[in-house]
Structure 1
Amino acid sequence: MMIDIGNVQRLLVEYQLDGWLLYDFRRSNPIAHRLLGIREHAHATRRFAVWIPARGEAIALVHAIELHLFAHLPFQRKVYRSRLEWLMILRSLLADARRIATEYSPHGDLPAISFLDAGTAELLRSFDLELCSSGDLVQHIEAVWTAEQIAANRLVASKLRSIMMESIEAARTLVLARNATEYDLQQFILAAFAREALITDYPPIVAIGTNSASPHYEPTAASSAPLQRDSMLLLDMWAKGQSADATYADITWTVWLGSSPPDEARRIARLVIEARDAALALVRERFHRSAPLYGYEVDDATRNLIAAAGYGEYFIHRTGHNIGTEVHGFGANMDNYETCDTRRVLAGTSFSVEPGIYLPGRFGFRSECDVVIDHDGHVHIPSEPLQNELITVEL
């Protein structure tokens, strides 16, 4: 993608920032490379900086031997050769600034944004600069979907839900046929993706029995458990269409293969679904009132409920992640556990809500849906109807 300087400058004024410094050394800042459209395999060996002031012309500070990497950028370039030239020109570029955005996160709370090294941070502070996180700027630029993407995603989500229903029925058939494994069901799902012209970055999660207690379990041809009766089966699948700007849908259903699930399995399923619905209610309420909503608050809505029921230690991941053209996108995550995501949830973005409880050596239960906020602030759940109980698959 190519960064829209006018849009960035509008955001800088809105967030009361004097400018944004995109700094990189040997691809230490993937955000800078994406936003500046630098070729993926470009031989970049020297540090560079791009300064985008809130008002005025954007300027790239680049080394003399790598000018060609920035020839496509539609703004001025300043050339340095030595370390002293780098320091002198960088200081002059930032001379009128006080509060600047950069790929920095206080206390490292947001690793997805935290790419500025400590030494360069010290250097910038020696210029009497206040460093602010570029996290909100990045999500405005990279996480907000177009109206066309929102519309197209509805079809993807519908296809994915249909494949989920087919896969649950296929699990029943495979168990009855005997000798089938998690891997066999995974391959069934991938074949369904191909049939529906969907693509994915990694194969879906198919986890039976004790494996369902491992949130990111991966069956393979060489290591895969047999599908069997009287077991919990967790299915997590994500996919998108084949266009360059296609966006992901991502859902998880957990079912019981057999007739009589244990009482605790039913109780945990009800609790997880209640926690999921508490998060969805919070999202709907905030956007209905046009009130701010932050990623960590959605996590609190699910986690507090699960913790109050005595299962807090078994909910071992964040509540959800941003979704875009990559399944783990660049916007706010629903997280106050692994990190504290203080970014505001924006209209035009999508994210998952996927609480889970995982009892080691026994079973796990997760329920996941996607939320899409349109540009008018209306909340959509494209994969509805959702799972509302522990489904028993009679065998």
Structure 2
Amino acid sequence: MFDLRAIQKAIALEQVGGWLFSSFQHRDPLSESILELDPSTKNTRPWYYVVYPEGSPTKIVHTIERNILDNLPGEPFLYDSRNRLLQLFKKEVLPKAPQLACQFSPTLRVISFLDHGTALLLEECGFTLLSAATLLQRFRGTLTIEMVRSHQRAASHLYEIVSDMWRLIRESLARGVALHEGDVQRQILEEFEKRKLLTHSPPIVACGLHSGNPHYSPQGKGSPLERNQVIQLDLWAKEEGEAGTYADISWVGYTGTTPPDSLQKVFTVLTEARDRTIDFIGGKIESGVPLSGKEVDAFCRSFLIERGYGGALRHRTGHGIDRELHGFGVNLDSVEFPDDRLLLEGSCFSIEPGLYFEEFGMRTEVNAYLWEGRLCLSGPYRQTDLLRI
């Protein structure tokens, strides 16, 4: 259900004049999703919906699609020309909200739907445009208690599935039964279906050289799993229902009894980076020190660079998690899409340092969230040793 009060609360907390939602030919699915609009509705003219910290929102719609926002509260105004549109913005919106938050960010492409033409039109009216990134974080990127519980249940399922899949791999190799990356991937998806879990894309099962590709996806059956290989498992899923919140974990194994020192060394460095990052976040939060996703990534990245692994880094330390796998909350990122937003109560995110080489790659991933002023880890335990046969 559309929650006007929650949007207004986020606007008030961020101390902005208003939050603009707009779409044309359904080019802004984010605005449509937040306002719970039907994506199949005819949308041949731009519509605009402005929410303020309090009071009635403003609806500006074209005369030939005057009913497109009828399910939303607010006072409607009609336009049939660009001049009339400019007049309405200047008269009905500008006095209430000279600063408008909009769906754009210079670094966070996932929320950037405002087109340049609309931005120029608004600036012509006299508005100062601000990024809605922090508003989206408060409204969409933090968890409720129901979402926390759902996230924890999803994480428990994923840990159980990893254990089951490694048992399958171990037993197949022991019996000499052929097993391919695609076979394991299919088994994971079948487990999701049995447990009524949803996912937007298949999990990663990558062996040998393929583990060096962070987003590898097997084609068909993929490569056969053989002895003395690195195997990377990365799986994500959520429960059905409105509160369904993703969990996302990565485990790494070795299909032999004793991994080479080179593999063990990389795994040890990664787990230490992960655990030091967890302690870094936890310490700052419990001390009441504001902490951004950018700062967390810089801390983890510096640890790995100082140990000589800078050339093996391929991605950020973590991403926001909510009803979407890569959600609208803060990312632990100082390089790809630097995220200056602060970790807030209810923030949920992955912590997944990875190192990738020509011969193999490794990533260890846990999820964490902030609740009641402290950092909480999802799932029953962290991986502390390589899975092995």
TM-score normalised by the shorter chain: which range applies?
over 0.9
Asked if structure 2 preserves the Cα contact closer than 8 Å seen for 1:103 and 1:134, the reply is yes
Instruction: List per-residue Cα deviations over 1:209-235 (Å, max 9, x = no partner).
Output: 0000001111132x5000000100000
Match of 2:316 in 1: 318
Segments of structure 1 that go 5 or more residues without pairing to the other structure are none
Match of 2:245 in 1: 247
Q: Does 1:363 align with 2:360?
A: yes
* Cα drift, residue 38 of structure 1: 0.9
Question: Counterpart amino acid of 2:207?
Answer: I
Match of 2:180 in 1: 181
Match of 2:262 in 1: 264
Instruction: List per-residue Cα deviations over 1:44-75 (Å, max 9, x = no partner).
Output: 12111112233432111111122222110121
Matches within 5 A, 1:19-98: 19-96=18-95, 97-98=97-98
Instruction: Return the alpha-carbon distance in structure 2 between the equivalents of residues 146 and 77 of structure 1.
Output: 32
What SS does structure 1 have at the residue aligned with 2:155?
helix
Question: Counterpart amino acid of 1:334?
Answer: L
Asked if structure 2 preserves the Cα contact closer than 8 Å seen for 1:275 and 1:301, the reply is no
What SS does structure 1 have at the residue aligned with 2:197?
coil
Instruction: Return the alpha-carbon distance in structure 2 between the equivalents of residues 129 and 201 of structure 1.
Output: 38
Instruction: Return the alpha-carbon distance in structure 2 between the equivalents of residues 242 and 22 of structure 1.
Output: 28
Q: Does 1:103 align with 2:99?
A: no
Question: Counterpart amino acid of 1:41?
Answer: S
Instruction: Return the alpha-carbon distance in structure 1 between the equivalents of residues 59 and 259 of structure 2.
Output: 62
Instruction: List per-residue Cα deviations over 1:1-38 (Å, max 9, x = no partner).
Output: 5142x333333333221112223222222221111111
Instruction: Return the alpha-carbon distance in structure 1 between the equivalents of residues 163 and 299 of structure 2.
Output: 28
* Cα drift, residue 290 of structure 1: 2.4
Instruction: Return the alpha-carbon distance in structure 1 between the equivalents of residues 3 and 131 of structure 2.
Output: 18
Match of 2:111 in 1: 113
Does 122-131 or 278-287 show the bigger shift?
A: 122-131
Asked if structure 2 preserves the Cα contact closer than 8 Å seen for 1:174 and 1:227, the reply is no
Instruction: Return the alpha-carbon distance in structure 1 between the equivalents of residues 160 and 138 of structure 2.
Output: 32
- Give the % identical residues: 33
Asked if structure 1 preserves the Cα contact closer than 8 Å seen for 2:238 and 2:247, the reply is yes
Asked if structure 2 preserves the Cα contact closer than 8 Å seen for 1:51 and 1:93, the reply is no
Question: Counterpart amino acid of 2:79?
Answer: Y
Matches within 5 A, 1:224-303: 224-303=222-301
Instruction: Return the alpha-carbon distance in structure 2 between the equivalents of residues 29 and 215 of structure 1.
Output: 29
* Cα drift, residue 145 of structure 1: 1.8
What SS does structure 1 have at the residue aligned with 2:41?
coil
Cα root mean square deviation, aligned: 1.7
Asked if structure 2 preserves the Cα contact closer than 8 Å seen for 1:296 and 1:336, the reply is yes
Instruction: Return the alpha-carbon distance in structure 2 between the equivalents of residues 185 and 115 of structure 1.
Output: 37
Instruction: List per-residue Cα deviations over 1:117-169 (Å, max 9, x = no partner).
Output: 22322232233332211111111111222212212322221121111111111
Counterpart of 1:389 (choices 361, 364, 385) is: 385
Instruction: Return the alpha-carbon distance in structure 1 between the equivalents of residues 310 and 231 of structure 2.
Output: 22
Segments of structure 2 that go 5 or more residues without pairing to the other structure are none
Asked if structure 2 preserves the Cα contact closer than 8 Å seen for 1:104 and 1:131, the reply is no
> CA distance change for structure 1 residues 148 and 344 in 2, over 3 Å: closer, same or farther?
same
Instruction: Return the alpha-carbon distance in structure 2 between the equivalents of residues 304 and 379 of structure 1.
Output: 21
Instruction: Return the alpha-carbon distance in structure 2 between the equivalents of residues 3 and 30 of structure 1.
Output: 17
Instruction: Return the alpha-carbon distance in structure 2 between the equivalents of residues 268 and 49 of structure 1.
Output: 52
Instruction: List per-residue Cα deviations over 1:276-316 (Å, max 9, x = no partner).
Output: 11221122112212221211112112111111112112211
* Cα drift, residue 372 of structure 1: 2.1
Give me the TM-score of the superposition, normalised by structure 2: 0.95
Instruction: Return the alpha-carbon distance in structure 2 between the equivalents of residues 390 and 207 of structure 1.
Output: 15
Instruction: List per-residue Cα deviations over 1:309-345 (Å, max 9, x = no partner).
Output: 1211221111111111221111111111211111112
Instruction: Return the alpha-carbon distance in structure 1 between the equivalents of residues 71 and 112 of structure 2.
Output: 27
Match of 1:203 in 2: 202
Instruction: Return the alpha-carbon distance in structure 2 between the equivalents of residues 178 and 331 of structure 1.
Output: 44
Instruction: Return the alpha-carbon distance in structure 2 between the equivalents of residues 14 and 195 of structure 1.
Output: 42
